[in-house]
Amino acid sequence: MITRYALFEGSVAQGQTEAFRAAVLDEILPVWKQFPGALSIRVTFGDSRDDGAPEFPLILAIDWKDMETVEAFLENPIRLQGRAATEAVMARFFTGRIHHHVTTPHVFDL
């Protein structure tokens, strides 16, 4: 399995946290849920962090079967729809940058 993270590093406009979160869930998530080949989607909102740590108001994690599935998704037109929805919400609420990281998770049940 592969997990591709989108890290939203920056800040949400003062007093707009709840509106930002609602917009992500209402406007962007429906498009993300259409991504072909995605096994699961986790939308996580930052609540606190260590002193001096960078701010990540949103972290998106999408699980995929393998890297070939990720690469096929990256070429799919739905990705452009996801980008457009993301840019529309971010333009209203977010200042910062978005970067992606592909990881191979190892899960250990306790």
pLDDT of residue 61: 98
pLDDT of residue 14: 97
pLDDT of residue 58: 98
Our CA angle for 7, 47, 19, nearest 5°, is 80
pLDDT digits (tens, 9 = 90+) for 33-66: 999 999 999 999 999 999 999 999 999 999 999 9
According to CATH, the topology of domain 2-103 is Alpha-Beta Plaits (3.30.70)
pLDDT of residue 15: 97
pLDDT of residue 29: 98
Query: Alpha helices, DSSP H only, in the chain?
Result: 17-23, 29-32, 67-74, 78-93
CA nearest to 100, candidates 33, 8, 1, 27: 8
Give CA–CA dist 12/91, Å, rounded: 10
Locate tokens 């910062």: which residue? Answer: 96
pTM of the model as a whole: 0.93
Q: What value does the mean pLDDT of the chain take?
A: 97
